Amino acid sequence: MKRLGILISGRGSNMMALADAVRERRIPQAEIALVVSNAATAAGIERARGRSIPAVVLDHRGKTREEHDRAVAAELERCGVDLVCLAGYMRLLSPWFIRRYEHRVVNIHPSLLPAFPGLDAQKQAFDYGVKFTGCTVHLVDEELDHGPIVKQAVVAVEPDDSVETLSARILREEHKLYPQAVALLLSGRYRIEGRRVVEM
């Protein structure tokens, strides 16, 4: 059994998509060991507990980045976590954390990276006038929204789209893509060649 740790800061819809996929065995032989939020107000905390998934709040305020990350890592290790999934986690990770979990931290971002990293990626893409955008699951390294790409999905921008309708379609793709990427990573059927994640 592989154990997932999920870090959130907000509503937690990707966290729930991972939980659904674990329950339906689309992510086989896995369980969600722990959900950690840095924000007590995160709606995802109650959603996790509603599914009987252990969920804790670790407030980052008043601590250095590394101090906070060490506290998070202590919880993840107590729960025997194999893979850390960022799901709307609104904090940069310290170099210490990245090294400790090298190639074992994965993130989902709502654009086709390397286009539109950072905040409000859907709005950035919409305002730029792209015809296609989408979402990216990538391994996390020390640069923001940067590590090797595991999977991507393309979403077309329709003429009558608003940022809201486009974001909603991207989110539906995120909920499909993230479980597929996590299943691949847990299966071990890939290798990393530089920036490339090659499926085997």
- For position 136 contacting ligand GRF by CB under 6 A, the verdict is no
Residue 70 interacting with ligand GRF (CB under 6 A): no
Q: What is the DSSP letter of 141?
A: -
Given the residues 68, 109, 138, 175, the one annotated as active site: 109
* DSSP state letter for 146: -
Site for ligand GRF in 78-97 (CB under 6 A): 87-88
Instruction: Answer whether 12's CB lies under 8 Å from 42's CB.
Output: yes
Identify each DSSP E strand in 146-199 by its residue range. Answer: 149-156, 190-193, 196-199
* Contact window for ligand GRF (CB under 6 A) among 56-64, 71-79, 105-113, 190-198: 105-113
- Verify whether residue 60 is a known catalytic residue: no
What is the C-alpha to C-alpha distance for residues 50 and 45, in angstroms, rounded to an integer?
Answer: 9
CA angle 103, 104, 105 (to 5 degrees): 100
Among 11, 104, 146, 169, binds ligand GRF (CB under 6 A): 11
* Contacting residues toward ligand GRF, per CB under 6 A: 8, 10-14, 87-88, 108-110, 171, 174
Could you give the residue numbers annotated as active site? 109
